[in-house]
A and B are shown apart, each in its own frame.
Chain A
Amino acid sequence: MHNLTIDGVSKSFDGISALRDVSFSVDAGQKVALLGHNGAGKTTLMKAILGLQGADSGRIEVLGSAPGSARARASVAYLPENVAFHSALTGREQMRLYLRLRRQPARLADDLLDRVGLGPAAGRRIGTYSKGMRQKVGLAQALIGQPRLLILDEPTSGLDPVARRDFYAILDDLARGGASILLSSHALTEVEARTDRIVILSKGAVVADDTLIGLRAQAGLPTHIQVAARQGAADEVAQRLSAGRRNGVMVELTCTPEDKLARLGEITALGPLVRDLDVVPPSLDDIYEHFSRRAER
């Protein structure tokens, strides 16, 4: 069951296309990362999904309804990028407003703020909050009323590492309960471990849509193997593996994913010459760059 279906969606502003024939879907319980440079069309796509800004062509279906319809809005949560709440309200008052908009009891405000770690600041004005704290208010409002689809635009910007970890733990809970999550991010390394699938947008078009493993295979980027040689044996190791020496002890070689096991065999055959080794698969940053570059060509 797709909670979100996007089919051939295009949108242009004053003749400049912001989205070109975008198609993908998000299933119940799935966490999908939407990656792209600034201006790649991430926010435009999110606003189209929310029904805030119609697409020129194509079809979007949100929980079986049209985007922006009463049924869709009742179970879709949104966190806009760089949201700033009114500085004169306290965190609690701001949450009470959003709870009422979802027809939920206003007394749940403190529980939600507690959940994102803002419990002690609930009675303080938002004007006194740090950027990270304001972002947490945004997260707290997105958790109201068990949403079935969450659209999160740069949800972890301004959060410290502990807050990020807590935030992804909350998302895991929601996904286990069957919620679908579409989030955009610049912090590629954290998306890598925390999402089921990755969609890469470049200049408004989907250039990749796969799991991280699938993307690695598609990109065919080389895997790096770093070998730590025994003291003084770096040259010998480099020569026998026909690889480059990086410094006195480290030898670095690259290979295709298919060659990896054979190369590892060669390294282990060196026996006592080798002290340690690290296998570094292409990172999401590498893959992201690969697909963005390929699309630009």
Chain B
Amino acid sequence: MSGILGFADAEFRIALRNRWVAILTVTMALFALVLTLAGSGPTGTLGADQLSVTVASLTGLAVYLVPLIALLVSFDAVAGEVERGTLALTLAYPVTRWGVLMGKFLAHIAILAVALLVGYGVAAATAFGLDPDAARGLEALVRLYWSSLLLGASFIGIGYLASTVARRPATAAGLVIGVWLILIVLYDLGLLAGVVADDGGAFTTRVFPWMLIGNPADAFRLFNLAASDATAAAAGVDGAANSIMPLQALASIAIWPFAAFALAAWRFRRIVP
């Protein structure tokens, strides 16, 4: 336990000094600010409070940025230690490999929690400043926060997996960018193409919803839009949100962190330092 906390402490400091994390946190805060200010117009006509509208916008933003931050802090976890030669040293200590990875996992989730607190905090503060009724959207914001952490944890686990597969930091970095591109950008395009080609057939009704839920990023978006009052505000953005139960989407983003971490830990055991 002392070893896990030791790793968590050290890795948290490393991530705190990681320029990428700082840049992405600032980016997120700026985007959140812009989205909140830009979204301040239509609230009257929709009848939703300012914060609910902001949360809907933030959900779209988080799908891109949260996995990116998660992958950028995690890709070096194993490959970096292999390259620096510290993995052999670490494993000569009385710690388990599982403990090493768990310590890093805790630290990286913590740094993500801080980054999101800053980003969403800026948005929330602005929304409260613009609309006295913003408290109505607080529940949606809290839900967005913890589901973002689950989404981030999933991608931290995926980053570790890439790190153990690549074994070299440069390769791992390339790999996680590829993973991000596929899971966040191309996946949806592929599904969309499938739905269009299928024209309402078995793929659209049977396979498509499950494929959507199987991807943690899509499950995250579905869960937040379906569960939030802001669905109306986002209507048309994601029509599928109505056909899938938020509970199944929630199950997906709740299982993903454990599955990804377990897979990475299993792969890590096979690495000879």
Q: Which residues 74-120 in B have Cβ within 8 Å of A in the complex?
A: 80, 84-86, 88-95
> Which of A96-104, A155-163, A180-188 lies at the binding interface?
A96-104
A73-B94, A80-B89, A84-B84 known; A103 and B2 CB under 8 Å? yes
B92 and A100 within 8 A (CB) = no
Q: Does A167 contact B (CB under 8 A)?
A: no
B85 and A97 within 8 A (CB) = no
Q: Which residues 155-199 in B have Cβ within 8 Å of A in the complex?
A: none
Residues in B neighbouring A81, C-beta threshold 8 A: 85
Residues in A neighbouring B85, C-beta threshold 8 A: 80-84
Q: Does B206 contact A (CB under 8 A)?
A: no
Interface centre among A52, A82, A99 (most CB of B within 10 A): A52
Q: Which residues 46-90 in A have Cβ within 8 Å of B in the complex?
A: 47, 50, 52-53, 70, 73-74, 76-86, 88-89
A83 and B91 within 8 A (CB) = no
- CB B6 to nearest CB in A, in angstroms, measures 3
- CB A150 to nearest CB in B, in angstroms, measures 11
Closest residue of chain A to B92, judged by CB? A78
Closest residue of chain A to B80, judged by CB? A86
B14 and A88 within 8 A (CB) = yes
With the chains together, A141 CA to B93 CA distance in Å?
A: 10
A52 and B18 within 8 A (CB) = no
Chain B interface residue bracket vs A: 20 to 34
Q: Does A94 contact B (CB under 8 A)?
A: yes
B92 and A52 within 8 A (CB) = yes
Residues in B neighbouring A74, C-beta threshold 8 A: 94
B10 and A50 within 8 A (CB) = no
Closest residue of chain A to B91, judged by CB? A52
Q: Does B42 contact A (CB under 8 A)?
A: no
Q: Does A7 contact B (CB under 8 A)?
A: no
Q: Does B46 contact A (CB under 8 A)?
A: no
- CB A95 to nearest CB in B, in angstroms, measures 10
For the complex, count residues of A whose C-beta is within 8 A of B.
Answer: 34
- CB B101 to nearest CB in A, in angstroms, measures 14
Residues in A neighbouring B92, C-beta threshold 8 A: 50, 52, 73, 76-78, 151
A78 and B89 within 8 A (CB) = yes
Q: Does B136 contact A (CB under 8 A)?
A: no
With the chains together, A42 CA to B95 CA distance in Å?
A: 24
Contact residue among B2, B3, B18, B88 (Cβ-Cβ distance under 8 Å from A88): B18
Q: Which residues 1-21 in B have Cβ within 8 Å of A in the complex?
A: 2-3, 5-7, 9-10, 13-14, 17-18
Residues in B neighbouring A79, C-beta threshold 8 A: 89
Residues in B neighbouring A101, C-beta threshold 8 A: 2-3, 6, 90, 93-95
A73-B92, A74-B94, A86-B80 known; A100 and B6 CB under 8 Å? yes
Q: Does B239 contact A (CB under 8 A)?
A: no
Residues in A neighbouring B93, C-beta threshold 8 A: 73, 98, 101-102
Closest residue of chain B to A84, judged by CB? B84
Q: Does A93 contact B (CB under 8 A)?
A: yes
A78 and B88 within 8 A (CB) = yes
Residues in A neighbouring B80, C-beta threshold 8 A: 86
Contacts beyond the supplied A74-B94, A78-B92: 7 A-B pairs with Cβ under 8 Å = A50-B88, A79-B89, A80-B85, A80-B86, A81-B85, A82-B85, A141-B89
